[in-house]
Chains A and B, each alone.
Chain A
Amino acid sequence: DTGVSQNPRHKITKRGQNVTFRCDPISEHNRLYWYRQTLGQGPEFLTYFQNEAQLEKSRLLSDRFSAERPKGSFSTLEIQRTEQGDSAMYLCASSPLGTRSSEQYFGPGTRLTVT
């Protein structure tokens, strides 16, 4: 069990640029989640995949955000035309199916700074 990994760990970008983050879940986990955490707050849910299907999206996920999990393994989160309000820590989590499906294991996060 190598844990959830995320790349890059830090990203600084100028307003208006596009950015893409990658998440590699724990290998046997079918479920994958994206959350956003701003300073002084707890993580907030963005979206959820079961295998390659995106089954749930939060209202926080505006049209500028898109997430994919094309082969049911790694996932990418893209933000187009970044805004300063997008600055946050983006967290990925995964969980297995079955009785432990509610146990979400988090990666280290990608910290995005939009200047």
Chain B
Amino acid sequence: AQSVTQLDSQVPVFEEAPVELRCNYSSSVSVYLFWYVQYPNQGLQLLLKYLSGSTLVESINGFEAEFNKSQTSFHLRKPSVHISDTAEYFCAVIRGGANNLFFGTGTRLTVIP
């Protein structure tokens, strides 16, 4: 069975500082990995995904995540955060060929002016 661990429930960071949100997964088979973002009072939005190919994936708003198979990690990073990045971030995994996403418990990122 798959499981996802997000080690930090809350991450406060000052504006323009770098941030890393950690995600580890457990699975005995190959998986696809995702980061979703949930802004206040909004639904989940797909931020970025790893399906295959390059282990470093990027989003359009400056976030990136690196798939590390040996460490079973998919940490999310941004070199300089903005106030607008304040949101809840969820890491999710799906086994190849399966239909349901397994989500972590989320990390609340708060950007401090």
Stretch at the interface among B53-61, B62-70, B78-86, B93-101: B93-101
Encoded as 1 (CB less than 8 Å from any B CB) or 0, chain A from 59 to 98 comes to 0000000000000000000000000000000010100000
CB distance from A47 to the nearest CB of B (A): 9
- Which residues from B are CB-within-8-Å of A4? 43
Among residues of A, the one whose C-beta sits closest to the C-beta of B92 is A42
Interface residues on A, range: 20 to 34
Residue contact A45 to B45, C-beta cutoff 8 Å: no
Interface residues on B, range: 20 to 34
Residue contact B106 to A42, C-beta cutoff 8 Å: yes
Rounded to whole angstroms, the CA-CA distance of A17 and B32 in the bound complex is: 39
Q: SS class of chain B's interface: helix, strand, loop or mixed?
A: strand
- State which residues 12-66 of B face A: CB under 8 Å: 32, 34, 36, 42-46, 49, 51
Rounded to whole angstroms, the CA-CA distance of A33 and B99 in the bound complex is: 9
Residue contact A58 to B99, C-beta cutoff 8 Å: no
- State which residues 16-48 of A face B: CB under 8 Å: 31, 33, 35, 40-45, 48
Residue contact A43 to B99, C-beta cutoff 8 Å: no
- Which residues from B are CB-within-8-Å of A44? 103
Residue contact B43 to A33, C-beta cutoff 8 Å: no
User: Looking at the complex, which one of A56, A91, A103, A109 makes contact with B100 (CB distance below 8 Å)?
Assistant: A56
Residue contact B46 to A45, C-beta cutoff 8 Å: no
Q: List 30 A-B contacts (CB under 8 A).
A: A4-B43, A33-B100, A33-B101, A40-B106, A42-B4, A42-B92, A42-B103, A42-B104, A42-B105, A42-B106, A43-B90, A43-B103, A45-B101, A45-B102, A56-B99, A58-B100, A91-B44, A102-B32, A102-B49, A102-B51, A102-B96, A103-B46, A103-B49, A104-B46, A106-B36, A106-B46, A107-B43, A108-B42, A108-B43, A109-B43
In the complex, the 5 A-B pairs of residues with the closest C-beta atoms, listed nearest first: A42-B103, A45-B100, A108-B43, A106-B44, A48-B99
The interface of chain A, by Cβ under 8 A from chain B, is 4, 31, 33, 35, 40-45, 48, 55-56, 58, 91, 93, 102-109
